[in-house]
Structure 1
Amino acid sequence: MTDETAAALTPAGRRDLLPAIEPERTLDDWGCSERIEGLFDQTVYEFYYRIWFRCEVEGVENVPSTGGALLVSNHAGALPPDAAMITKAIKEEHPHPRLVRPLVEHFFKGYPGFSMLAPKIGAVPAHPANVHRLLADEGQLALVFPEGRKGSEKLFKDRYRLRRFGRGGFVESAMRAAVPIVPIALVGAEEAQPIFAHVGVFQKLTRLIYFPITPTFPWLGPLALAGYLPAKFKIRFLEPVRTDDMGAAPWEDEGLVQEVAQEIRARIQEELIDMLGRRRSVWLG
């Protein structure tokens, strides 16, 4: 073995064999494409945010300007547009605009096309390791919907009635990263893509996570983007809940984790009731 070969087998030598990072690279470590995300932001998101849903935002200053934070919102609709509107709101209305990483469940892999598009526009798989890296290591904003699939499957007759917030995993993640939790109450998504029933037979035939009866036909994939009803969106950011003042290793106290999760759920539910009570029209606000 020559000296050159031996040197190439060392860690430093192997590193030298790797291609250099391209200066024009527009894809980050999470798979988000600056070009594709920017295109969606300037076209699709811009249209829905300003023209179609005519979003109104309150309390956006409650989102920290620096450091990690976990955003927690209610969730609904056959193909919910709430994540896109929340991320757009922070970009447009916050004094210090920031990128938000929506956390998506693994069952979204069942949607052809969307599973490839999601990471390109900034979404990240909802895994505890990913969440900790985003919040603690990179100091980013992450958006989670604790209702998960139960929220997006919700029927129209059950609108704005929050489902159980899982087992409080989002609280545990925030505690481990010692970052604040920012609750969000959003009105409008329930009417933008209402679900009136589910068809189990078609669900099995298509192998989708659910097959809803809705006027917006979400099973048509990309065509569903043209099917949202023009309900007016109102997004209210609530005061943050600190997790860095709850003692040492608070995530090990399951009772405390559940208590915080239930308090956040109750706060969001109360705000939704208040917002609905003030609303005079689904379409005009």
Structure 2
Amino acid sequence: MTQRAAMATVESSEGPTSTANPSKVTAGNESIDSTSIDHWGRSEDFRKALRSAFDPIYRYWFRVEWEGLDKIPKQGPALLVANHSGALPPDALSIMQGIEQGIGRPVYGLADNLFRTIPALNIAWSRGGGVSANPDNAYRLLADEGQLVLAFPEGIRGPLKPFSERYTLRRFGRGGFVETAMRAGVPIIPIAVVGAEESMPVIARVPIPKSQIGIPYLPITLNHVLFGPVLGSVLWFPAKIRIRVLEPVVIDAEPGEARYSRSKVLEESTKIEELIKRAITDMLRRRKNVILG
């Protein structure tokens, strides 16, 4: 999880808008309710359209397969934590798609503010369930609203790593996601993803001023080489994606504390990182072919 971002959502610099109808979001949503725009900027109508558009890619291009989807709770809050990869990462869309279709619960995805800098995409990102990754937003979604929240502790470093370092996880930050889960009193559910690395492999990186678009490198992918700069930026390779949901991790800590032991936070963060690493190693060992799985 990234540190506190400058702005929380498209609508507000502090978090959800104050003009939304709070009745549109209820604690521990058990099913997706077709409503208009909630106070995070999410539109269930837009999510439905997005799921329909992505479904052929999900089913026939990536042929996504799940293990342990039943470990996702049908009610109550949980923080979902996954590895992140591919220059244009398909993992977030695939995880949200599978859970919303299979469980019938909305998923809110935490992401860096990079999406906010791109015109049109910033609105689509918010309408599609994206929320700026900062501890306050995550806490509100979990503790106050009982939602499922998806986080990628590697941040932008995961998708930007070169293909030569594929499936080598970047350090899970300073454990901010763990501290948020402890404060909210919710389980952390680790998720391992294999296949996203090969969907858009980074073969070179061009340094750019970070202040311009919020990333230190412009990734050059094999897709760019084969399909050109425009099509190569959006066309994934048809890599088989497998997603494994691990057992929920419940941390022994008193919710609502102002501060937690830094050593405890880092210890739990390292444990979860290792769980995901071991799962990825096992999944790669079992995989016979990048395309066929």
Q: State yes or no: 1:34 paired with 2:44.
A: yes
Paired residue for 1:268? Answer: 276
Q: Deviations over 1:112-162 (max 9, x none)?
A: 432222101111111211111100000000000000011111110000011
**C-alpha deviation, 1:70, in angstroms:** 0.2
**Which range moved further: 203-212 or 122-131?**
203-212
Paired residue for 2:158? Answer: 151
Check the 8 A contact 2:42/2:130 in 1, yes or no: yes
The CA distance in 2 between the partners of 1:187 and 1:205, in whole Å, is 29
**C-alpha deviation, 1:107, in angstroms:** 2.8
What one-letter code is carried by the residue in structure 1 that aligns with 2:286? R
**Which range moved further: 207-216 or 122-131?**
207-216
1:84-233 equivalences under 5 Å are: 84-94=93-103, 97-200=104-207, 203-204=208-209, 207-208=212-213, 209=215, 210-217=217-224, 224-225=233-234, 227-233=235-241
The CA distance in 2 between the partners of 1:141 and 1:221, in whole Å, is 34
The CA distance in 2 between the partners of 1:110 and 1:219, in whole Å, is 23
Check the 8 A contact 2:21/2:39 in 1, yes or no: no
**C-alpha deviation, 1:25, in angstroms:** 6.2
Alpha-carbon RMSD across the aligned residues, in angstroms, is 2.8
**C-alpha deviation, 1:37, in angstroms:** 1.6
The CA distance in 1 between the partners of 2:37 and 2:20, in whole Å, is 15
**C-alpha deviation, 1:108, in angstroms:** 2.8
Q: Deviations over 1:30-86 (max 9, x none)?
A: 11122222111111x201210110000000111111111000000011111100100
Residue 132 of structure 1: SS of its match in structure 2?
helix
Check the 8 A contact 1:250/1:256 in 2, yes or no: no
| Count of residues paired in the alignment | 261
Runs of 5+ unmatched residues, structure 2: 1-18, 25-33
Q: TM-score, normalised to structure 1's length?
A: 0.84
**C-alpha deviation, 1:260, in angstroms:** 0.3
**Which range moved further: 211-220 or 169-178?**
211-220
Residue 169 of structure 2: SS of its match in structure 1?
coil
The CA distance in 2 between the partners of 1:19 and 1:163, in whole Å, is 37
Check the 8 A contact 2:182/2:254 in 1, yes or no: no
**C-alpha deviation, 1:250, in angstroms:** 9.3
Residue 196 of structure 1: SS of its match in structure 2?
strand
1:242-257 equivalences under 5 Å are: 242-243=250-251, 245-247=252-254, 249=257, 252-257=260-265
Larger Rg: 1
Paired residue for 2:87? Answer: 78
**C-alpha deviation, 1:206, in angstroms:** 11
What one-letter code is carried by the residue in structure 1 that aligns with 2:87? A
Runs of 5+ unmatched residues, structure 1: 1-17
Q: State yes or no: 1:56 paired with 2:65.
A: yes
**C-alpha deviation, 1:220, in angstroms:** 6.2
The CA distance in 2 between the partners of 1:83 and 1:49, in whole Å, is 12
The CA distance in 2 between the partners of 1:20 and 1:275, in whole Å, is 43
Check the 8 A contact 1:211/1:219 in 2, yes or no: no
The CA distance in 1 between the partners of 2:58 and 2:283, in whole Å, is 19
Paired residue for 1:3? Answer: none
Residue 109 of structure 2: SS of its match in structure 1?
strand
What one-letter code is carried by the residue in structure 1 that aligns with 2:67? E
What one-letter code is carried by the residue in structure 2 that aligns with 1:180? P
The CA distance in 2 between the partners of 1:106 and 1:72, in whole Å, is 18
Check the 8 A contact 1:109/1:115 in 2, yes or no: yes
The CA distance in 2 between the partners of 1:219 and 1:120, in whole Å, is 29
**C-alpha deviation, 1:204, in angstroms:** 4.6
